Amino acid sequence: MPRTTLPLLAVLLAGCTLAPDYQRPASPAPAHYPEGAAYQRGPAVTTLPGDWQAVFHDPALRQLLAVAMVNNRDLRQAVLNVEAYRAQYRIQRAELLPKIAANAQGTRQYLPRRRTGGAGMISAQQSATVGISAYELDLFGRLRSLSDQALLNYLATDEARRSAELSLITSVAGAYLTWRADQELLALSQQTLHADQQSLGLTQRQRRTGTVSALDQIQATTRVDSSRAAVARYTRLAAQDLNQLQRLVGMPVRDDLPAMALADEQIARLPAGLPADLLQRRPDIRQAEYQLQAANANIGAARAAFFPSISLTANAGSSSRELSDLFDAGSGSWLFQPQINLPLFNAGSLRASLDYAKLQKDIQVARYEKSIQTAFQEVADGLAARGTYQDQLQAQRDLVAASQRYHDLAENRYRNGIDSSLAFLDAQRALFSAQQGLISDRLAQLLAEVNLYAALGGGWETPTNLTYQRSAALPK
């Protein structure tokens, strides 16, 4: 066989692989989002904000998000995981190429008289070689499949980093909005406590003049106690919200940070009519598909293990007894040592490994399909929330306005002695409850919009084709 046959064969078969042709599984989710009374209708749109800086309008929130991107430890860990998988891919990719090493060594040994048959002697040997050690010819694509698997795992980890980044944005925005809502509830509770204390003072004066009963004074006192409890509760919640926000941001946050009011337009409105295939840009779905492709590539490596493997060891150099004669004429040497390994009996280990690789692919298919179903539900829930919260908020605003009119009328009648304090206290409770409900509903609407932003993959841009191409740009 000519000396160049094996190298040529290796070059011709280097791109071969026994991995199955990858086909993206059909989506188990419907082609369109649900329709009905809970959903807004509208024409399909494609131009929408795709960056969080264009989605969130509050300057304080944007500033906190920018700081969190730098300081958050969970995101930092996700970034380091990407670098670790990138290094693993580079290690595996290097197996496709021969490793050339230079070696120099010297030996000096004393041989006793019993071994030499005469006087003892000193033996010396010097050598220097350059060569290839145990380079596997990838005739059946085993190394190529393992390299593809490492690359796809790296890409999946990068999508996991994007998912962690999106989760951080959602968490910071949710914690910030909750903190603002509890601050507004605390301010409302303090205002209500001040009004209740004034009412109690009026009742106590009327009690001394004998115009109200002891029962009226006790009812006014219980109202003050209830407002005091609300102030303590929202003081605690606001402090805990700030602690959580500082943990997410990774640095202290001022409790007097200037910001937009909760009722302002905090988040960009999402138009109706989004196509369902926007789910393909979610990082968790992209991660699941890359993991599926990695499992598919691993089948190729498991199949290639059934075939013979050929490895080459070769070197050339020189050797001599004296270091000064190491590179003189006639001191050259070379070694060519091919090795072939043919699996004959392995007690079913290779078959079990192939079955395991196929089962892992089936598991990844199920995981990929589940991620699509979960994403579709999250988007559908977000669209339902968007379609109904506006009506709920308007109804709650109307309730607050009506409760305010009821409160003002009851207070006027109470101060003029027309009604007892019972009607006035009931009006105070109704107004406080309606105002609390309005703040809570507004917070729920904003959190639903944040969750919808996350459910759509951090924006609303048109998705790209994620099918892996080996010719795509690879990490260096």
Domains, in order of start, for the chain: 5-96+140-307+349-455 (1.20.1600.10), 99-137+309-342 (2.20.200.10)
- pLDDT, position 321: 67
Categorize the per-residue pLDDT at 50 as very low, low, confident or very high, splitting at 50, 70 and 90. low
Tens digit of pLDDT for each residue in 255-286? 777 888 888 888 887 765 566 666 777 899 99
Total number of residues shown for the chain:
476
- pLDDT, position 214: 82
Arithmetic mean of pLDDT, 8-34: 72
Q: Does pLDDT of 328 surpass 90?
A: no
- How far apart CA 476 and CA 474 sit, in angstroms, is 6
Tens digit of pLDDT for each residue in 80-110? 999 999 999 999 999 888 888 888 887 877 7
Residue 152, helix vs strand vs coil? helix
As given in the structure block, the two tokens for residue 37 are 């009374």
Torsion of CA 355, 356, 361, 364, to 10 degrees: 150
Residue 361 contacts residue 145 (beta carbons within 8 Å): no
Helix axes 142-209, 214-249, angle to 10 degrees: 160
- pLDDT, position 334: 80
428: which residues sit within 8 A by CB, 6+ positions away?
Answer: 192, 195, 196, 199, 223, 407
- How far apart CA 343 and CA 326 sit, in angstroms, is 42
Which range of 31-40, 115-124, 441-450, 458-467 scores highest in mean pLDDT? It is 441-450
Instruction: Tell me which residue of 4, 26, 33, 15 sits closest to 387, measured CA to CA.
Output: 33
Q: Does pLDDT of 288 surpass 80?
A: yes
83: which residues sit within 8 A by CB, 6+ positions away?
Answer: none
Alpha carbon separation from 286 to 157, 188, 464 (Å, rounded): 10, 45, 10
